[in-house]
Amino acid sequence: MLPKRASSAYLSAVPRVTGLYERTTAAFILAVLLLLAVGVTTFWGFGRINDARDDRQHSVAVRERLTGMLVHLQDAETGQRGFLLTGREPYLQPFSTGSQQARADLDTLVQLTAPDSDISPAIRALTPAIEAKLSELTETVNLRRANGLNAALVVVQTDRGRVLMDSVRQVIRGVARTEADRYARAGATVSRTTTLVEIVSASGVLLAIGFVVIAAVVLRHDASSRLAIESQLEEVSDEMRDLYERAPCGYHTLDSEGLIVRMNQTESRWLGLQLDEVIGKKTVFDLLAPEDRANARARFERLVNGEDIGTGEVRFVRKDGTRFAVLVSSSVSRDSRGVPWRVRATMLDQTEFRGARDMVNRLNASLQRHVAELEDVNRELERFSYTVSHDLRAPLRAIAGFATLLKEEHVSRLDPEGLRLLDVIHVNTERMGRLIDDLLSLSRLSRTPLVRAPVDMTTLVTGVVDDRKAAGSDGGVTITIGELPGVEADPTLIKHVWERLIDNAVKFTAGVAAPRIDIGAKNGNGAPIFTVRDNGVGLDMQYAEKVFEVFQRLHPQSEYEGTGVGLAIVQRVVHRHGGRVWVESAPGQGATFFFTLDAKGGA
Amino acid sequence: MADAESVEILLVEDSSEDAELTLRALKKHNLANRIHHAKDGVEALDFLFARGPHADQATLRMLRVVLLDLKLPRVDGIEVLTQMRADPRTKLVPVVVLTSSREDPDISRCYALGVNSYIVKPVAFEEFIKVVSSLGLYWLLLNQPPT
């Protein structure tokens, strides 16, 4: 079963692009709307410009016609004057042509002018004016032709013709002015509208481009984060696949009939089968031990029917016919309608588990045996200590005691050599007594439980030194005690360390002129290093390690008393505290013993 | 060896050498005639409770101190001490345990059982004499017995 929760946890780490679709769509819609607005504006603008141009053309046409009409009217008048003056018919040619054309111009003007136009009244007013002028001209021409020049001049002199001509001119001027205004207004409209269309289309297009660019940038960014997500997804899915395939448990997925649709490598390895031998070809029941099949099928049915069947144990049969038991735990996934779709199962190989459990049990048993053996050895050691202390000391006591009695009560019968021999016995019994005491002490210090408590080293060392002064066992040595930091240690055991080190230093400064022992401490890597420095005989560094071994002596017994156990006790106690002890020295130059009570300390 | 009536010190000691040395030390201080020496726990208990060979004696009244070795044949020192402390007649008799070593695991048990003192027998004879003598003098002369 693939851990779904894990995968979603992985994906939540990937940044999400929220509302991307909405934002880019909005940008595109805005761009389209802008372009639409530009289009509408342009269309409207061109319409308006066209209208204005039509107005201008119309205006030009009206003015041309007006001018043409006036010219033709003047042509007609000129022809009339010529005819009036000369009476010659050819002059009537321009007169009639001018009249016709003036009338045609007027017709055209009427056609050009819509009934609701502002010049329509003026144009309408022109028709009678022109007709009046033309009839005046015709009248004079007819008078000239019928009654001669004077009859015509009478009419001319009435000034009616001039007045009529003036009124025509006036009307024409008024209309021309109106049309000139219209022409100018239309021109202004054209240029205004052109500017407006230019501004709207330029800014609209620019904005639309802007929106498209923004959308493109957003999409591009989205594409790159999609790529990142995809590569991360790929990584996660690789990891999932790896986990799935190589997990220490078997995984398989079944359809609702029990047919195997997926299986991890671990399980196929357990079975000794290739994946293509099972996927889509075998049901899980085919792989089970025959006697387990019915039960497994029943459990499967119950699981598919929604029952909780917990964890069960089944036996699989490998390709080679051998069997192995697994613990199996299954779950059902259902489609949206609740119909069972897949059954996923996790299996733990019981043989490996049992093997491990057996191993743990075996190790445990052997550990317990060892503990018991150790306890036996320990008890044996304690019995040995007891025996040593009693059975070795008792005869020793007798030897020493009776040698003394012999010396005291039979002194008269002994010669000096006899007395000397008795002294040798005496000295050696004492030495052996000390040796036994020291050995017991070493054994006890190794066995008693270590109980750490805060220890005031200065007080402790001062006490030890004072004890020696009081007992007279300090050998008259000058002993200085520097500042000693407190420690967490077993006070009883640490006291032994100081006692043995100080006694050792006293012993080896015995033959020196101004014997001196300096006790101090220095900081070593965060933990104190305690030092006992003497100016005694010192020792060869070649043997520096040996001084801490039991019974190792660097000097003959006759020179320095000692059992060879003291420094072994020091080392034992220091080691039990997790510390280190060492010595620096040279023959004849004194020795300095160092010890730490912490693994950190020391260089 | 003193007669039973005048015994003030009971020495319980299986080692004849230690016993002899102890007796000699006490003799030096003229205490030896008041000592009874028991060689094991059984003898000590018989003497203490006036039974067996000591059935007709009444020594309890006079006993000033018991010097008790722990390692004894038959009945050991711990058992002797236990029985003494359990019996009202011997409950208050001072007991000094003599031991060969301070390593003895029984020492703490002895204190728990109400021993009055314990002495490590020194190897050196002079010291041994000193210890034993001062013991005798202390318990015979200095210590006020419970009455």
What integer pLDDT is reported at residue A219 of this predicted model?
84
Q: Which of A387, A388, A393 to mutate to test the interface with B (most CBs of B within 10 A)?
A: A393
pLDDT at residue A6 is higher than 70: no
Contact A564, A551 (CB under 8 A): yes
Between the CA of residue A296 and those of A250, A288, A555, what are the distances in Å?
17, 9, 83
Strand B65-69 to strand B35-38: parallel, antiparallel, or no bridges (unpaired)? unpaired
What integer pLDDT is reported at residue A341 of this predicted model?
85
The predicted-structure confidence for A419-451, as pLDDT tens digits, reads as follows 888 888 888 888 888 888 777 777 777 777 888
Which residue from A390, A401, A441 is facing B71, i.e. has the nearest CB?
A: A390
Six-digit token string for A147: 């009654």
Tally of CB atoms within 10 A around A162: 13
Six-digit token string for A210: 């802007």
Residue A260: pLDDT band by 50, 70, 90 thresholds? very high
* Rounded average pLDDT over B119-125: 71
Subunit contact A433:B122, Cβ cutoff 8 A: yes
What integer pLDDT is reported at residue A70 of this predicted model?
86
pTM, rounded to two decimals? 0.44
What integer pLDDT is reported at residue A263 of this predicted model?
93
Contact B104, B110 (CB under 8 A): no
Chain A residue nearest residue B101, CA to CA = A389
Q: Which of B23, B100, B120 to mutate to test the interface with A (most CBs of A within 10 A)?
A: B100
All residues of chain B having their beta carbon less than 8 Å from the beta carbon of residue A390 are 71, 100-101, 104
Residue A253: pLDDT band by 50, 70, 90 thresholds? very high
Subunit contact A401:B121, Cβ cutoff 8 A: no
What integer pLDDT is reported at residue A559 of this predicted model?
63
Q: Which amino acid is at A361?
A: N
β-sheet bridge partners, residue B99: B120
A389 lies within 8 A of chain B by CB: yes
The predicted-structure confidence for A43-57, as pLDDT tens digits, reads as follows 998 898 888 888 888
Residue A603: pLDDT band by 50, 70, 90 thresholds? very low
Q: Which strands form A591-596's sheet, in the order they lie side by side? A: A478-481, A516-524, A527-534, A591-596, A580-585
Contact A550, A442 (CB under 8 A): yes
Residue A594: pLDDT band by 50, 70, 90 thresholds? very high
ipTM of the complex: 0.72
Which residue from A390, A396, A402 is facing B123, i.e. has the nearest CB?
A: A396
Q: What is the percent of chain A where pLDDT is above 70?
A: 93
pLDDT at residue A469 is higher than 90: no
B121 lies within 8 A of chain A by CB: yes
All residues of chain B having their beta carbon less than 8 Å from the beta carbon of residue A442 are none
Residue B57: pLDDT band by 50, 70, 90 thresholds? low
Subunit contact B100:A430, Cβ cutoff 8 A: no
What integer pLDDT is reported at residue A261 of this predicted model?
92
The predicted-structure confidence for A359-418, as pLDDT tens digits, reads as follows 899 999 999 999 888 888 877 877 777 676 667 777 888 888 888 888 888 888 888 888
Subunit contact B101:A390, Cβ cutoff 8 A: yes
In 3D, which of A258, A254, A278 has the Cα closest to residue A268?
A: A278
φ/ψ (deg, to 5) at A159: 65, 10
What integer pLDDT is reported at residue A61 of this predicted model?
85
In 3D, which of A274, A254, A256 has the Cα closest to residue A265?
A: A274
Work out the angle at residue A336's Cα, subtended by the Cα atoms of residues A329 and A306, and round it to the nearest 5 degrees. 35
Between the CA of residue A134 and those of A64, A146, A178, A430, what are the distances in Å?
20, 18, 25, 179
β-sheet bridge partners, residue A488: A454
Subunit contact A398:B101, Cβ cutoff 8 A: no
